[in-house]
Chain A
Amino acid sequence: GENVEQHPSTLSVQEGDSAVIKCTYSDSASNYFPWYKQELGKRPQLIIDIRSNVGEKKDQRIAVTLNKTAKHFSLHITETQPEDSAVYFCAASRNNAGKSTFGDGTTLTVKP
């Protein structure tokens, strides 16, 4: 089955700096890669996703890049703000597959 590894497990940045979280996956047939943000005590919520037919997608301060050859994808947050502090999860799945495989999460702390 699919295996997703996420790094780093914790990340601390100064407000205004950029943050990058990376995930690698094992199943070359995976073609959907979402990122979820989980604030303390809340549910995970989708913030951005990318499908295998594109290499990059941006939404304001966040972007995701995908390298299908190397089987890795990354979340980039620019101009970080304290409200970006949360746990971020990556995931991988095939279209219409039964389940998604999640990474173990990255705890991002943005220091003011």
Chain B
Amino acid sequence: DAGITQSPRYKITETGRQVTLMCHQTWSHSYMFWYRQDLGHGLRLIYYSAAADITDKGEVPDGYVVSRSKTENFPLTLESATRSQTSVYFCASRDGGNTIYFGEGSWLTVV
């Protein structure tokens, strides 16, 4: 699905650095989400957004910041990366029928 894209796909960073994961969707879906998925675990919601300039915390928001100045973009920033934030990050958007479409994922390693 070219409709939702993430970048970078793979990133290695050092502890304490700021990292931004980008997410772009071409469908004009109102809702967008960020999930993290740790090895062998499920999907945990970090933040979500109902529309431009409206964001809300999910289950595990600590250490992350989001913004949504435009409907199509929903970047996720790790302000000071920690090893516990090593994970696969999935951006997603939701259509009017509640179906969620996931991006391809961003593999982040914090060393």
Contact = CB atoms under 8 A, between A and B. Distances in A.
A44 B1 CA distance: 12
A99 B42 contact: no
A102 B56 CA distance: 17
B61 to A, nearest CB: 13
A104 B105 contact: no
Contact of A99 (B33, B90, B104, B105): B33
Contacts of B98: 32, 34, 49, 93, 95-97, 100
B58 to A, nearest CB: 7
| Secondary structure of the A contact surface, majority rule | loop
Q: Helix, strand, loop or mixed for chain B's interface?
A: strand
Contacts of B101: 46
B102 A99 contact: no
Contact of B42 (A34, A42, A104): A104
Interface residues of B, number: 21
Nearest to B100: A100
A35 to B, nearest CB: 11
Contact of A104 (B41, B48, B102): B41
B74 interface: no
A103 B50 CA distance: 22
Contact of A103 (B31, B42, B45): B42
B12 to A, nearest CB: 17
Given A43-B90, A46-B99, A98 B43 contact: no
Contact of B100 (A34, A96, A104): A34
Contact of B48 (A46, A98, A102): A98
22 contacts: A42-B104, A43-B102, A43-B103, A44-B90, A44-B102, A45-B102, A89-B42, A89-B43, A93-B98, A95-B98, A97-B98, A98-B31, A98-B56, A99-B33, A99-B45, A99-B48, A100-B94, A102-B42, A103-B42, A104-B41, A105-B41, A105-B43
Given A32-B97, A45-B102, A99-B48, 4 more contacts: A32-B98, A44-B43, A89-B43, A98-B56
